């Protein structure tokens, strides 16, 4: 189970908190929490919904902890150096892009734009796109909101990303500045 879901959980948590080391710790804690609370799992519900809800909650707990106890992180980009690339969690089987420099720069811009989204939009988009989670499950992970609300959140999040990344893309191609 851990091997099957480690990468999707890790990606979600990393994209919520933007700290690779902390994301690894939280992802590990997600599986510990799953084991500790296994009696509470409802077999009628999808396991992934329950798993991603735990991951989201632990990620949000970390965000709240950081707000209460701010500390400098070596992984987070400094405000005075916006061109510093963000670290991205990748699956080991991901292909290496032909033009890694441009791909890395675009990836950093996408990550930056994602981090600027409100938490619910970011979570919904990540679950939908990277986790392959159905809208019904996303609604449950986000606290039992309506299916219509999920569709709206995803639509608005995509619109914000598209608008934010428009200067970097033209007909699907990266534009050198």
Instruction: Look at residue 79 and tell me if it is in a domain.
Output: no
- Rounded to two decimals, the pTM is 0.60
Instruction: Look at residue 78 and tell me if it is in a domain.
Output: no
Residues 106, 58 share a domain: no
- Tell me how far apart the alpha carbons of residues 53 and 140 are, in angstroms, rounded to a whole number: 8
Contact 41, 84 (CB under 8 A): no
- Owning domain of residue 121: 98-177
Residues 176, 132 share a domain: yes
Contact 147, 137 (CB under 8 A): no
The answer, yes or no, to whether residue 33 has pLDDT greater than 90, is yes
At 107, the pLDDT band (50, 70, 90 cuts) reads: confident
The answer, yes or no, to whether residue 47 has pLDDT greater than 70, is yes
- Could you read off the pLDDT of 48-102 as tens digits, one per residue? 888 988 998 898 888 778 778 766 554 555 444 444 444 444 444 444 444 455 5
CATH code of 56's domain? 1.10.1740.10
Residues 172, 102 share a domain: yes
CATH code of 107's domain? 1.10.10.10
């Amino acid at each position: 189970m851990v091997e099957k879901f480690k990468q999707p959980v890790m990606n979600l948590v990393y994209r919520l908190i933007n700290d690779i080391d902390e994301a690894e710790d939280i992802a590990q804690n997600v599986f510990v929490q799953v084991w500790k609370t296994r009696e509470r799992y409802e077999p009628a519900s999808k396991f992934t919904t329950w798993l991603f809800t735990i991951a989201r909650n632990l990620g949000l707990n970390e965000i709240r902890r950081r707000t209460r106890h701010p500390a400098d992180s070596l992984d987070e980009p400094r405000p005075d150096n916006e061109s510093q690339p963000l670290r991205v969690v990748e699956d080991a089987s991901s292909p290496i892009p032909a033009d890694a420099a441009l791909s890395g720069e675009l990836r950093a811009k996408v990550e930056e734009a994602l981090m600027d989204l409100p938490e619910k939009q970011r979570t919904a988009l990540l679950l939908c796109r990277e986790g392959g989670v159905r809208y019904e499950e996303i609604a449950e992970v986000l606290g039992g909101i309506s299916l219509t609300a999920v569709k709206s959140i995803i639509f608005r999040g995509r619109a914000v990303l598209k608008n934010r990344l428009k200067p970097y893309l033209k007909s699907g191609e990266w534009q050198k500045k």
